[in-house]
């Protein structure tokens, strides 16, 4: 169990832990341990349980970061050793809200895809959405990989109301992605302001962990350094 701060990273819908690989590399180069938690995306309780298993495994003080859908997951954990939260273009439902409700509070971007569950209740991102909305600033190769490894999300994951969110009790940062076509920047600013988060605004798309990893790694490094001062 590490006594230093560990960064735990939670991926969003239509992604897996590999989406954080560039950020992990950059944190490692700075001497910061980072672990990507595998989320099944089968329900909000399932994802919270999976994240808490990773937190238990890591131990020690943690800076917990979530991308997109995972904002609802990181805000729902109860692990006492989480010292700070970082939302990366992420959804932040308040108590009694679902991820889907806060996702839909503003009009969608014109290039945002229509999202419809399949017969088993899972939502897949259409292939054309990766270059048009999900990661429009990524290279064609990066977009191809994101399509190939996408993990569908169950409708149950985004329709379950959350309890009292952890962001009410620990320091919180928010990276607003101004070119986000999945979660409009207007909505991100609303959520960040409501949380009272420390806001960092960047001209990036919905997946800065892939397309602007230095921006994400620099923010996480800032939060780790602040957290270390409080230990």
Is 202 among the domain residues? yes
* Residue 18 forms part of a structural domain: yes
pLDDT digits (tens, 9 = 90+) for 172-229: 999 999 999 999 999 999 999 999 999 999 999 999 999 999 999 999 999 999 999 9
Provide the CATH number for the domain around residue 118.
Answer: 3.40.50.1820
pLDDT digits (tens, 9 = 90+) for 89-108: 999 999 999 999 999 999 99
User: Which structural domain range is residue 176 located in?
Assistant: 6-229
Distance of CA 49 to the CA centre of its chain: 16
Q: Check: CB of residue 173 under 8 Å from CB of residue 196.
A: no
Residue 3 pLDDT > 90, yes or no?
Answer: no
List, for residues 144-186, the tens digit of each pLDDT value.
999 999 999 999 999 999 999 999 999 999 999 999 999 999 9
Domain presence at residue 1: no
**140 within some domain:** yes
For the stretch 111-155, pLDDT in tens is 999 999 999 999 999 999 999 999 999 999 999 999 999 999 999
Domain count, the chain: 1
Closest CA to 154 of 56, 42, 66, 21: 42
State residue 2's pLDDT score.
54
**How many residues are given for the chain?**
231
Q: Tell whether the model's pLDDT for residue 50 goes beyond 70.
A: yes
Q: How buried is 118 (Cβ within 10 angstroms: 0-12 exposed, 13-18 middle, 19+ buried)?
A: exposed
């Amino acid at each position: 169990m590490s006594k230093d701060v560990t960064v735990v990273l939670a991926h969003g819908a239509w992604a897996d832990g590999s989406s954080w690989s560039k950020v992990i590399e950059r944190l490692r180069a700075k001497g910061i341990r980072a672990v990507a938690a595998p989320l099944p995306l089968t329900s909000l309780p399932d994802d919270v349980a999976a994240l808490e298993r990773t937190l238990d495994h890591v131990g020690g003080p943690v800076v917990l970061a979530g991308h997109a859908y995972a904002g609802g997951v990181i805000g729902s954990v109860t692990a006492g050793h989480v010292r700070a939260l970082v939302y990366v273009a992420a959804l932040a439902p308040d108590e009694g809200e679902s991820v889907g409700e806060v996702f839909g509070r503003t009009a969608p971007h014109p290039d945002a895809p229509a999202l419809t569950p399949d017969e088993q209740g899972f939502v897949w991102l259409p292939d054309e959405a990766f270059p048009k909305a999900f990661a429009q600033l990524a290279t064609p190769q990066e977009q191809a990989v994101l399509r190939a490894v996408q993990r569908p999300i169950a409708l149950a994951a985004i329709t379950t109301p959350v309890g009292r969110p952890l962001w009410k009790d620990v320091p919180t940062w928010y990276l607003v992605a101004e070119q986000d076509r999945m979660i409009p920047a207007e909505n991100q600013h609303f959520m960040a302001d409501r949380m009272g988060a420390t806001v960092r605004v960047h001209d990036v798309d919905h997946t800065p962990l892939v397309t602007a990893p230095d921006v994400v790694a620099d923010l996480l490094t800032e939060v780790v350094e602040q957290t270390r001062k409080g230990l």
